[in-house]
Structure 1
């Protein structure tokens, strides 16, 4: 029994290695944005193309993760994905232009697209339901550590060395993750003859082109990098392709991404209702906070990174008591209460100014990290309670795609909102100022409130079987 308990801790930590890598990568890059922009001699807001290209690539390739896992085995796909992600990181580390950085980030995203959903599928397959709350808490720890380390790493690296090194720190962690997976995750079962499912190539083409057109068009909108007619055409074509895929999904016996998993009400609330809070917490905020601190408040990259770390410190600190809190209050109550607290704290960020004491900023960031952790861990834990285990690969792929879409939309919304606010406040002056951010954070807070409305549709008894964990 003791060996089983240890296994139920080690496996979540291993399959959470991708979350560590992704969160480290995103938070490091967000902190280093002003330094990268200065080095490449481009406007800082144009660098959201490098962030968005990664998450767009994630969203485009994510639908294939379920098929690849079933066809080649979860452990093989997991290890290959981590290696591709690490290769993309190495290439980003030698990029010298924005175009090169965008292309290598697309490769990075192709690897990242397979890491998280396949890892979650391994977790659901390896851990029994009565151990899932504890396992999910362990599963979220590496991601929180990545978010905690990233801002400090980013600030320290661009202070003492070249920004190129921010991508190279992923490589040893990726190699370690593959080694641990080979040691502790069971070997993939050999597929029985005739068991392999043919890939839905047409569905993959529709879904991939739809996501690429819609997200790419939204990202390029207003940047004058392509003619406005081309950008509008991308958005319309992407929307049409997604509608065609929705019709195709209903007819195909084995679609590349099965939308029918959204029929399960708890899972649907987690994915669709949780999207606004994810857009705010894991998309917009990591992009906006470094800009506020470095450009709006004049902090150095290192100081900005240290201050931003308090969000992740708060997120990590809540892990010790979260399993007890879930059992004590239940999933619905915790989601509604924590997301309302998040909204209030996010809105308070718009009040930060040059005279705001650092300890006040750090305390509010820490508190928001606590609330965010409660929402995210609770969502990830309760999401699959009404999903049959044989549908888990499609459910995890759907959930991961929704999460990456949220990040992409968060970056797009954050960049567009702060750019528009800057134009309204001082159209003759280029660049961002502290006064451009309050209305932006207020809007992000309202998005979080939107999710609260969806969480109220959950039943107080949803997830009760997970609360009875030994």
Structure 2
């Protein structure tokens, strides 16, 4: 039987899967850390470059648009040139672009470098997951994915306090230049320890599909990242969203009939991939609002300093770290279906409880509750990332990683939009021109409700879904779509 990782059990192992996961995760941590640390440095960057801070929002938008647009083609590129080679090239591109960002003397130069960073990040994230999946057996997947999930949990949370420290101590350019030693070390470890994956012949790329999908994602992400910020003329953000949806509709119609589509929608016929991607996106949208809301509440609502807010927000990362060794035995004992339903509801409660925070609450209590919420969300993310590929045939891993990466990139952005829209609507309904603590309470309750809404979809999974990965049942019977 062919394993999901494509490795023959009879062949000697070339590398410990945990080592491969740790090396790959270190590169992903760099990418996640950078994307969140830059936000903290924006005011200092604006002062140094003599522009309004709002104009520098384009530097964040350009990165996210490039990142999202190039993810769909990453699977084809990895198959065509080899996953290890592409991953190493992505680290080089990302690190070089970081140097260019750190040396930028004007806004256009900075935006151009950020676009190049986004291209490197787009190749890095899904190709890293593909590289790992091709090196492991199915029974090793759960432990490896627990390692791979950590950057997504820790990077966005540790980025703001680290970005603030680096900016205050060494200047905003250090936020980008810190990637140089991390990238160099990651490149050496990948070259030394990770076995090569030979290139294949995936056939010609779906150029029309990539154009439609890339245009849709670019316009939609542009609209999401600029709406309500005042960085573009009025109405342009809304036009971007509408045009993005139109191009997206055309892309879906094309991909449903194309022979080798840019986005393989037939993957959604695999039950475990379907629920992990679609219901998982619903969970990620609600959970994605939390890293934005917590520091905002602490600073705007409670008057805490940026460093205090950053340290309290880091509690979520500590909870995620504590869950890493517990994920395997919990999933073995209860199975994916029960764990996904349970952690969705517990995570929803963890998000909603923040609605009741007031300035009178002791910070250690808030810290403890956030850490507990991070514990449940970490288990949920590990479960989602593992289950998504549990029944995907080896020949379709590239398409699955591209599909999953695109969905995972969109969800946190939608989470921020959910948070900002709810905050503004709450303040408007209360007749306030400035945000107040009650507005954050409404936003946390709405985000918690979105997280909880994913639980009924997870309930549709078979009781033995992903059993060959979790080991929950003695005889796995999870349905699998035959390889094509």
**Residue among 227, 241, 256 paired with 1:250:** 256
- Give per-residue Cα distances to partners, 1:56-110, cap 9 Å, x unaligned: 3222111110110111111111111122222333333345666655443332221
- Give per-residue Cα distances to partners, 1:154-213, cap 9 Å, x unaligned: 23224434233223222221221111111112224255xxx3521222111111111112
User: Within 1, Cα distance between the matches of 2:430 and 2:57?
Assistant: 22
Tell me the residue number matched to 1:57: 66
User: Within 2, Cα distance between the matches of 1:259 and 1:137?
Assistant: 27
Question: Is the aligned partner of 1:263 residue 2:269?
Answer: yes
Tell me the residue number matched to 1:201: 207
Tell me the residue number matched to 2:128: 119
**Residue among 362, 382, 385 paired with 1:357:** 362
Q: What's the CA shift for 1:449?
A: 0.9
User: Within 2, Cα distance between the matches of 1:454 and 1:356?
Assistant: 35
The 3 A distance-change label for structure 1 pair 378 and 426 is same
Question: Is the aligned partner of 1:289 residue 2:294?
Answer: yes
Question: Is the aligned partner of 1:322 residue 2:331?
Answer: no
Kept in 2: contact 1:94–1:164 (CA 8 A): yes
Segments of 5+ residues of structure 1 without an aligned counterpart are: none
User: Within 2, Cα distance between the matches of 1:163 and 1:415?
Assistant: 26
Give the 3-state SS of the residue equivalent to 2:166 in structure 1.
helix
Question: Is the aligned partner of 1:178 residue 2:181?
Answer: no
Segments of 5+ residues of structure 2 without an aligned counterpart are: 1-8, 475-484
In the TM superposition, 1:303-314 aligns within 5 A as 303-314=308-319
Two-structure CA RMSD over aligned residues (Å): 2.8
* Number of equivalences: 463
Identify the range of structure 1 (38-47 vs 111-120) with the bigger mean alpha-carbon deviation: 38-47
**Residue among 254, 278, 281 paired with 1:275:** 281
The 3 A distance-change label for structure 1 pair 374 and 222 is same
Kept in 2: contact 1:159–1:302 (CA 8 A): no
The 3 A distance-change label for structure 1 pair 147 and 238 is closer
- Give per-residue Cα distances to partners, 1:281-305, cap 9 Å, x unaligned: 2x32222222222232222222222
The 3 A distance-change label for structure 1 pair 415 and 33 is farther
User: Within 1, Cα distance between the matches of 2:427 and 2:60?
Assistant: 21
Tell me the residue number matched to 2:305: 300
Tell me the residue number matched to 1:447: 450
In the TM superposition, 1:57-456 aligns within 5 A as 57-95=66-104, 101-147=110-156, 149-189=158-198, 191=200, 195=201, 197-281=203-287, 283-425=288-430, 427-429=432-434, 432-456=435-459
Give the 3-state SS of the residue equivalent to 1:62 in structure 2.
helix
Tell me the residue number matched to 1:20: 29
The 3 A distance-change label for structure 1 pair 260 and 237 is same
User: Within 2, Cα distance between the matches of 1:48 and 1:146?
Assistant: 20
TM-score, normalisation: structure 1: 0.90
User: Within 1, Cα distance between the matches of 2:281 and 2:456?
Assistant: 12
User: Within 2, Cα distance between the matches of 1:368 and 1:146?
Assistant: 17
Give the 3-state SS of the residue equivalent to 1:386 in structure 2.
coil
Kept in 2: contact 1:16–1:143 (CA 8 A): no
User: Within 1, Cα distance between the matches of 2:383 and 2:315?
Assistant: 21
Identify the range of structure 1 (132-141 vs 445-454) with the bigger mean alpha-carbon deviation: 132-141
- Give per-residue Cα distances to partners, 1:210-264, cap 9 Å, x unaligned: 1112222233334444444544433332222112111221232112221211111
User: Within 2, Cα distance between the matches of 1:4 and 1:190?
Assistant: 20
